[in-house]
A and B are shown apart, each in its own frame.
Chain A
Amino acid sequence: EAGVAQSPRYKIIEKRQSVAFWCNPISGHATLYWYQQILGQGPKLLIQFQNNGVVDDSQLPKDRFSAERLKGVDSTLKIQPAKLEDSAVYLCASSHYTGRSSGNTIYFGEGSWLTVV
């Protein structure tokens, strides 16, 4: 079974530029997550989708971050304009959870490494 796919793996941009990350979850997984992991810390949830609806985006800095999952499969996370403190790994994860079943194990992709200079 293919895992969670993310691209690009690495990105270096200047502050105030924009960047977009793409995620393809495991086939059939209804729930998709974007996490931000700053070096030396645990991942922090930015946004969670169930199918194409947002479950939680309370920690997403909405003035600069946006995410969408239009068809309930792939997702993109965008940052515009980027700040130095956005340098982090952006992890996408997915689970089979649909709200009415088990299958709640959450699987992570390898991450997209962002450096803002």
Chain B
Amino acid sequence: GESVGLHLPTLSVQEGDNSIINCAYSNSASDYFIWYKQESGKGPQFIIDIRSNMDKRQGQRVTVLLNKTVKHLSLQIAATQPGDSAVYFCAELSLNAGNMLTFGGGTRLMVKP
């Protein structure tokens, strides 16, 4: 994935609705795909990861889907809350490269009360 410029894609959802954030990745050899949440003024916070040999993984209110055929990753957030408002980044982890983490583009999620 490539970084985006100053104008991040924005997803605006109503509180209580489900959110789906998408990401295209570039390296088929990555071992894990990861979602990070970054709130204003803070560092990225790990949300959930998925190993490259899986296609779905669920956490608390979050689900990550991996489609290796089209190199697509998505994050689904159930019952979105105002506290979910942040920028979400997808990232690829390569163990062969010594646990190297490469970030893709970010999406700004805005939750309307």
Contact A97 B99 (CB under 8 A): yes
A interface residues, tally (CB under 8 Å): 27
Contact B43 A104 (CB under 8 A): no
Please name all residues of chain B whose beta carbon is closer than 8 Å to the beta carbon of A87 when the two chains form the complex.
Answer: none
Contact B3 A55 (CB under 8 A): no
Closest residue on chain A to residue B95 by CB atoms: A104
Chain B, interface size: which category?
Answer: 20 to 34
Nearest-CB distance from B35 to chain A (Å)?
12
Closest residue on chain B to residue A30 by CB atoms: B99
Nearest-CB distance from A27 to chain B (Å)?
18
Q: How far is the CA of A104 from the CA of B100 in the complex (A)?
A: 10
Interface residues of B (CB under 8 A from A): 1, 3-8, 32, 36, 41-46, 49, 89, 91, 93, 95, 97-106
Of all A-B residue pairs in the complex, the 10 with the closest CB atoms, nearest first, are A42-B103, A108-B43, A97-B99, A40-B6, A41-B3, A55-B98, A42-B3, A108-B44, A110-B43, A43-B103
